[in-house]
């Protein structure tokens, strides 16, 4: 399987991850991966989520495998504060699945193209949320998981291998560096970010990666209106406009959130993104 193949001398500050065996041999004791898998039909208080009902049996198996490996690796490294299977399902898996319909609807309405073969980047992917879940639910999508931390990239590569996904690339690098590289700048149909930063900062991380005519989607809480208003200048400066704030529901107490949908309608000025760390320290 092709993994982490984005690295070359012409791409500054984007690195090959350490090999998985090299990383694991330094863990004492080595992680034990259980062969048991969460049962998706009973994990959510004995109720089958409507979102999960849209998945076929193979996709449900992949979700189970992902949850299992997330829980095992989380014992050795900080991937998520949520550890119980029910909570992982509600707060991570269902929450990620709930973002897909706004992407599909907005892409069809405003990008004048089918959403079946989207080229998407998940910025600050962390534990693979939501990008890895997208890749399972939408096998026609090409998904790039952009993550700056090497240990998390190793986890992502392992999770992709275990789940048998062939539509995922793991890219190690900072969004500020990747956004200035011509191999990645303005090439993605959609950039998405979940639980990464405030909108002004997210816009500078994500919009330079989105092609003109593409979408930037920020997964936010149930009431992000003030945050979006404060980010209006930054979004405009970076070449986009806010299309809509779409309420989404993952059918759990934690799932209410808003997908902030922005349309990239002109190129991002070449000076953006600024140097690593600057967007967070001095937001636009």
Instruction: Record the tokens describing residue 199, joined without a space.
Output: 């909108």
**Over 80: is that where the pLDDT of 252 sits?**
no
Q: Please report the pLDDT score of residue 49 as a whole number.
A: 64
- Answer whether residue 121 shows pLDDT above 70: yes
- pLDDT > 60? residue 276: yes
Q: What was the pLDDT predicted at 167?
A: 98
Looking at residues 56-60, what average pLDDT do you find?
A: 94
Who has greater pLDDT, 83 or 210? 210
Q: What are the structural domains, with CATH classification, of the chain?
A: 88-281 (3.40.50.150)
Query: Residue 5 pLDDT more than 60?
Result: no
What burial letters (b/e) apply to 159-173, b meaning 16+ CB within 10 Å? bbeebebebbbbbbb
Model confidence band, residue 63 (pLDDT cutoffs 50, 70, 90): very high
Kindly report, residue by residue over 181-232, the tens digit of the pLDDT: 999 999 999 999 987 789 999 999 999 999 999 999 999 877 888 999 999 9
Q: What is the dihedral of CA 88, 92, 97, 102, to 10 degrees?
A: 160
User: In which element (H, E) is residue 95 found?
Assistant: helix 94-97
73: left (phi over 0), alpha (psi -120 to 50) or beta: alpha
Instruction: Confirm if 173 and 183 have CB atoms less than 8 A apart.
Output: no
Any idea which residue has 């979004």 for tokens? Answer: 235
Q: Quote the pLDDT of residue 154.
A: 96
The span from the CA of 174 to the CA of 207, in Å, is 14
Instruction: Spell 45-58 as b/e; 16+ CB within 10 A means b.
Output: eeeebebbeebeee
For residue 147, give the 3-state DSSP assignment. Answer: strand
Q: Which are the contacts of 136, defined by CB distance < 8 A and separation ≥ 6? A: 55, 59, 62, 63, 66, 163, 165
> What is the percent of the chain with per-residue pLDDT over 90, rounded to a whole number?
61
Residue 190 backbone dihedrals phi, psi, to 5 degrees: -140, 135
Residues contacting 39, CB < 8 A, separation 6+: 64
pLDDT at 37: 56
Give Rg (Cα) of the chain: 18
pLDDT class for 38, splitting at 50, 70, 90? low
Q: How far is CA 95 from CA 29, 52, 122, 180, 225, in A?
A: 33, 11, 15, 31, 20
Phi, psi of 61 (to 5 degrees): -65, -40
Output the pLDDT for position 39: 56
CA-based end-to-end distance of the chain: 40
- Label residue 177 exposed, middle or buried (CB < 10 Å: 0-12, 13-18, 19+): middle
CB 263 within 8 A of CB 238: no
More confident residue, 224 or 275: 275
């Amino acid at each position: 399987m092709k993994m982490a193949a984005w690295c070359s001398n012409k791409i500054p500050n984007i690195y090959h991850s350490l090999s998985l065996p090299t990383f694991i041999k330094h863990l004492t004791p080595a992680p034990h991966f259980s062969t048991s898998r969460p049962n998706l039909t009973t994990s959510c208080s004995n109720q089958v989520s409507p979102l999960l009902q849209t998945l076929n049996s193979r996709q449900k198996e992949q979700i189970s495998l992902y949850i299992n490996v997330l829980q095992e690796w989380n014992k050795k490294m900080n991937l998520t504060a949520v550890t119980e299977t029910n909570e992982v399902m509600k707060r991570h898996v269902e929450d990620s699945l709930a973002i897909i319909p706004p992407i599909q609807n907005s892409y069809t309405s405003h990008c004048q193209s089918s959403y079946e073969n989207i080229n998407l980047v998940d910025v600050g992917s962390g534990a693979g949320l939501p990008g890895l879940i997208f890749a399972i639910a939408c096998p026609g999508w090409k998904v790039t998981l952009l993550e700056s931390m090497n240990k998390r990239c190793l986890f992502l590569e392992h999770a992709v291998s275990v789940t048998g996904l062939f539509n995922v690339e793991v890219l190690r690098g900072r969004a500020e560096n990747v956004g200035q590289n011509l191999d990645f700048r303005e090439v993605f149909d959609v950039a998405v970010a979940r639980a990464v930063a405030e909108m002004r900062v997210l816009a500078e991380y994500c919009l330079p990666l989105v092609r003109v005519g593409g979408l930037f989607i920020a997964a936010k809480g149930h009431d992000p209106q003030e945050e979006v208003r404060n980010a209006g200048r930054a979004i405009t400066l970076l070449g986009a406009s806010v299309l809509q704030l779409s309420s989404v529901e993952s059918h759990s107490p934690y799932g209410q959130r808003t997908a902030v949908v922005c349309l990239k309608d002109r190129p991002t000025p070449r000076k953006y993104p600024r140097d690593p760390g600057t967007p967070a320290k001095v937001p636009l």
